[in-house]
Structure 1
Amino acid sequence: MEKKQNPLFVGTLAKGLRLLRAFDESHVSLSLAELVARTGLEKSAVQRMAHTLHHEGMLERDPGTRRYRPSHAWLELAYAYYWSDPLISRALPKLVEFSRAYGETVNLAQISGDHIIYSLRLPNQRTQFAASIVGRRLPALGTASGRVMLATWSKEEVTHALENWPIRSATPKTITDREAIAEDIARAKNDGYSITDGQMMLNEISLAVPVISIDGRANAAVQVSVSSLTYDEARLKGEILPALLDTAGGIPG
């Protein structure tokens, strides 16, 4: 209702963006009917917008199946984003240095609403394709990165997040109890790091350290993913944590 009452809000543009957001890792190509189902918009509107976005180069259309998929223009937008965010250029050399020294997967995660988004990912040789692509979004409460960032926020903001942000069960080990997550955030506030085990992927331990800005708040985190078949928490804290703290501390927030 607030958006509709805002005279600057362009409803047609918002609908077009909703159509673009219908595509994700599970929906890489969509028919017109599928676009209607995923957006909840009228078929005639979806047809016009999909045609326009195809004409403007934002969507590819298979001439045989008539299915739509994202075009290379999305990569151009990502390219522009990388140049626009100074944190990316400051973080990349530090992550490269860490990756070369330790040979483990290291990521830069940033807060994106009630999710985190991986904006830099340096995989190791064992990393699967899905875990090496930038732009992946995950519910912040279910990740070490999200929790360690929240640990630097105000009490009121953390309470709001715990009460309202989504939680998705990705594995049998995913913690969905909000009180347990609150306790983990409190530990992260005291420790300066967060560790999760099997929350988003089985046999994966995640260690995250906040990238602190000048005001003491973190909207980004450096995160390492390792195999629980190779590391336990004690080894991770002993061998990786000191270097990860140095890496994050060397990135101006």
Structure 2
Amino acid sequence: MEKKQNPLFVGTLAKGLRLLRAFDESHVSLSLAELVTLTGLEKSAVQRMAHTLHQEGMLERDPGTRRYRPSHAWLELAYAYYWSDPLISRVLPKLVEFSRVHGETVNLAQISGDHIIYSLRLPNQRTQFAASIVGRRVPALGTASGRVILATWSDDEVAHALETWPIRAATPKTITDRGAIADGIACASQDGYSITQGQMMLNEISLAVPIVGIDGRANAALQVAVSSHSFDIERVREELLPALLDTASGIPG
């Protein structure tokens, strides 16, 4: 309601963006009918917007099936984002060096609303394809990165996040109890790092440390993902945590 009352808000543009956001890892190509269902918009509006986005090069359209999918223009936007965010250029050389020395998957996770988004990913040879794609968003409360970022925020902000942010059970081991998640954030605040196991992917141990700004607050974290078949939590603490903390300390937030 607040957006619609703002004279600067362009409703048609917002609807077009809603249509683009219908595409994700579960919906890589969509028919007109599927776009209508996913967006909740009227068919005539979806038809006009999909056609316009196709003509403007934002969507590809299969001439046989008439299904739409994202175009290369999305990669151009991602390219522009990488140049626009100074944190990317500061972090990338550090991740390359960490990956070279330790040979494990290491990521840059940034807070994105109530999710974290993986902005940089340096996978190792064992990493699954889905876990190597830049731009993946997952609910922040279910991740070591989200919890260690929240651990640097104010008590009121943490309380709001615990009350309102979404939780999704990605695996049978995903913690969905908000009290238990609150305990995890408190531990991360005390320890300066967070370790989770089997939360987003089974048999994965995730270690995250915050990238803290001069105000003591973090909006990003470095995260290492290892297989529980090769590591246990104690080994992660002993072998990877000191190096990850050292890497993060050399990155201005």
For 1:1-253, list aligned pairs within 5 A. Answer: 1-253=1-253
Structure 2 gap segments, 5+ residues each: none
Shift of 1:183: 0.3
Shift of 1:214: 1.0
Taking structure 1 as the reference length, what is the TM-score of the superposition?
1.00
Distance 2:249 2:66 in 1: 50
Q: Deviations over 1:189-226 (max 9, x none)?
A: 00000000000010000000000011110000000000
CA RMSD of aligned residues (A): 0.3
The ranges of structure 1 where at least 4 consecutive aligned residues each deviate by more than 3 angstroms after the TM superposition are none
Distance 2:113 2:8 in 1: 22
Structure 1 gap segments, 5+ residues each: none
Q: Deviations over 1:126-150 (max 9, x none)?
A: 0111000000000000000000000
Distance 2:171 2:157 in 1: 27
Shift of 1:174: 0.3
Q: What is the aligned-residue identity percentage?
A: 86
Name the SS for the 1:118 alignment partner: strand
Q: Deviations over 1:10-41 (max 9, x none)?
A: 00000000000000000000000000000000
Letter in 1 for 2:156: E
Distance 1:75 1:173 in 2: 34
Taking structure 2 as the reference length, what is the TM-score of the superposition?
1.00
Distance 2:56 2:113 in 1: 28
Give the number of aligned pairs. Answer: 253
Distance 2:250 2:97 in 1: 11
Letter in 2 for 1:111: I
Distance 1:182 1:16 in 2: 37
